[in-house]
Amino acid sequence: MTSQPTLTKPEEGPAGPSGPDTGLQAGLKNRHLSMIAIGGVIGAGLFVGSSSGIATAGPAILLSYALVGTLVVLVMRMLGEMSAANPTSGSFSAHADRALGPWAGFSIGWLYWFFWVVVLAVEATAGAKILEGWIPAVPQWGWALIVMVVLTATNLASVGSYGEFEFWFAGIKVVAIAAFIVVGGLAVFGVLPGVDSDRAGLGNLTEHGGFLPHGAGAVLTGVLLVVFSFMGSEIPTLAAGESEDPQRAVTKATNSIIWRIAVFYLGSIFVVVALLPWDSQSIVDQGSYVAALDSLGIPNAGEIMNFIVLTSVLSCLNSGLYTASRMAFSLGRRGDAPKAFARTTRRGVPQAAILSSVVFGFVAVFFNYKFPDTVFLFLLNSSGAVALFVWLAICFSQLRLRKIIQAEAPEKLVVRMWLYPYLTWAAAAVIVFVLGYMLTDTEHDGRSTVLLSLLVAALVVVVALVKQRITATRTAGAAKG
């Protein structure tokens, strides 16, 4: 059993007052954690990627979101059970280390880090495109650089700075989606004046080919298109380790996941497909949310949505850098990464972990501009299925850790997985099914994404097993000596 990282108060070490400390600080306030939990589930993918899902499945995309949402709720419940019992910056990686072995913690930790540093490049480029459209005097690469530098500085300042930025970023997203649902809902039910009732209404759910215009199989294809927009739901369990009351923060985030997904995902998508026919060309040309706003006659709908998407992009960048650095910190504490990653500044910030993550992010941004269809496409596809790998690792870790916690400290089970172990096994089976179904998908690059992600995962697992064997050999040699 490996030792778990713990929070310590900053102390003046040998390097003096400004020297490095060995622990994180509890710098996140309850309001930070609450907004991170609420906004963390709303990614830029919801605004940008929903159009292709609607075009593929029609109104039945609601079923796709409901299926993935249910899966995320179950996975978050498992993660909440483990994290409430043992809050740590490594979250599921640290849990996998303890439950399945060091190789599992090493593998899932590095894969997750890899996923988020690639996301940094994707989001930085997306944000730069919007900003260049507003201020073309600055080239796109210049905006990407500015955005990355500003958010890196924010994360280096203190965890409180990250929390404050995320509080406002997430707040804007939450208010925007809530307003969209309220205004759109009024229009759907004919209460909002000035809206063409022939286009807006519940009839859009069953007309134009029916609720399942492309058949039941399209629901599964829709699942493949929307599943990755839910990545980020687990961030509150990583951030909880730096909060004032980790156990309470994890419990609250876990218990609220159901209504967050129901309101922000299902609620907003329902409004979109009820406002406009699913086969409307404007959904493809403008994007689902912009088209929905346009149908309401709201002026400058495109620019309003660009601002909301930019906020989501900055939020994702901010959280991505935070998440990648904390995972690197946890790996360093467990000896699975350079020791420098586990050192923190006097402010409780893992400086080396942050800088290493952002350097890789900068390199990925360069590849995105220089080799978008070769090197960067490989990076993108090879990290694409990591979300599903993480969820699967959470399932198997919870199956084992529940028994360990019950034996060692049953009072720590303040959050319990429903119908254990049956729902855990069911969730794992669904994840495996989705991965298998992706192998049949050639139209949306599902097959290449799974195969490349499995290749990278296999390489990481091999490295982990070799490292574990070397460590065991050295330990045995030291014991004999």
| Structure confidence by residue, pLDDT tens digits, 40-71 | 667 667 777 788 889 889 999 999 999 999 99
**What CATH number does the domain containing 40 carry?**
1.20.1740.10
- 442 falls within a domain: yes
- 9 falls within a domain: no
DSSP calls for 106-170:
HHHHHHHHHHHHHHHHHHHHHHHHHHHHH-TTS-HHHHHHHHHHHHHHHHHH-HHHHHHHHHHHH
- 141 falls within a domain: yes
pLDDT per residue over 127-153, tens digit each? 898 899 999 999 988 999 999 999 999
pLDDT per residue over 345-400, tens digit each? 888 899 999 999 999 988 988 898 888 888 888 888 888 889 899 999 999 999 99
Q: Name the more confident of 466 and 373.
A: 466
- The reported pLDDT for the residue numbered 31 is 82
Distance CA 181, CA 269 (A): 9
Spatial contact of 270 and 55, defined as CB atoms under 8 Å apart: no
Structural domain boundaries enclosing 106: 30-472
pLDDT average, residue stretch 144-171: 90
- The reported pLDDT for the residue numbered 463 is 95
**Could you give the C-alpha distances from 89 to 40, 56, 85, 333, in angstroms and in order?**
16, 38, 13, 10
- 13 falls within a domain: no
Sign of CA dihedral 353, 359, 362, 368: negative
Distance CA 249, CA 242 (A): 10
Confidence of residue 405 (pLDDT cuts 50, 70, 90): very high
- 481 falls within a domain: no
Q: Is the pLDDT of residue 3 over 50?
A: no
Whether this prediction's pTM lies above 0.85 is answered by yes
Do you find a cis peptide bond into 246, omega within 30 degrees of 0? Answer: no
How many structural domains comprise the chain?
A: 1
Helix, strand, coil shares, percent, the chain, to 5: 75, 0, 25
Q: Which residues pair with 16 in a beta bridge?
A: 13
- 479 falls within a domain: no
- The reported pLDDT for the residue numbered 15 is 32
Spatial contact of 72 and 257, defined as CB atoms under 8 Å apart: yes
Amino acid at 212: L
- The reported pLDDT for the residue numbered 392 is 96
* CA 451 to the chain's CA centroid: 21
- Percent of the chain at pLDDT > 90 equals 42
**Packing angle, helices 44-57 and 288-295, rounded to 10:** 80
- The reported pLDDT for the residue numbered 11 is 33
- The reported pLDDT for the residue numbered 194 is 64
Q: Name the more confident of 22 and 438.
A: 438
Q: Is the pLDDT of residue 252 over 90?
A: no
- 15 falls within a domain: no
- Percent of the chain at pLDDT > 70 equals 93
pLDDT average, residue stretch 206-233: 87
Q: Is the pLDDT of residue 184 over 70?
A: yes
- The reported pLDDT for the residue numbered 43 is 67
- 20 falls within a domain: no
Spatial contact of 260 and 236, defined as CB atoms under 8 Å apart: no
Q: What is the mean pLDDT of the chain?
A: 86
